[in-house]
Amino acid sequence: MTKIIGLTGGIGSGKTTIANHFRSLGLAVYIADDEARNLMQSAEIITAIKETFGNSIFENGILNRASLAEIVFGKPDKLELLNAIVHPAVKKHFKQWLLEHEKFPLVVYEAAILFENGNYKNFDWIITISAPLESRIERVMKRDGVTREQVMKRINSQWTDEQRVSKSDFVIENINSEIAKKETEEILKILKIKQNQS
């Protein structure tokens, strides 16, 4: 039976780099944020977002993600409303994806908010990627072209590294990406042994 590795970490910690490394090592990887982005283009979800947040965040019928982010980050009640629309759709989509990848003994599910929504309970092991706060802020500002204040809003809407680490089976400190990749390979060796023992 397929075992699921939950891969998480705060924004800018380098989760996607590690997820892609897992992929290069032969594992099937599900990137929840990418899939959520795709699902948010479906008619059903667009309708629900319009009903909840109004038409002003749409330009020519296309969702302006930056406007939506401005509304939800830093406002837990609004973020909860958005998550209530998107998370069930992602959960359903992942179930289907798992069926299509059942030949893989190990798969990776990568998501920023694995603990916040209680989803971590559905995985066999959890790996947290951590990185120094300043490195994370710089990465996100450079990647998304946003301000420090905007990054901090997102960081403050997520669990802290300490909270994540306390509930994780493994932690990868992503300061140097080559060292982090080597750690990933070591963890995978351990998990393959555990998989074979189960």
Residues annotated in a binding site for ATP: 12-17
Q: Which of 112, 155, 118 is nearest to 134 (CA)?
A: 155
Contact 174, 18 (CB under 8 A): yes
Residues annotated in a binding site: 12-17
Euclidean distance between CA atoms 69 and 134, whole angstroms: 21
Euclidean distance between CA atoms 28 and 177, whole angstroms: 21
Helical H runs in the chain? 15-24, 32-39, 43-53, 65-72, 76-100, 133-144, 148-156, 161-166, 177-197
For Cα atoms 90, 93, 99, give the angle at the middle one, nearest 5 degrees: 140
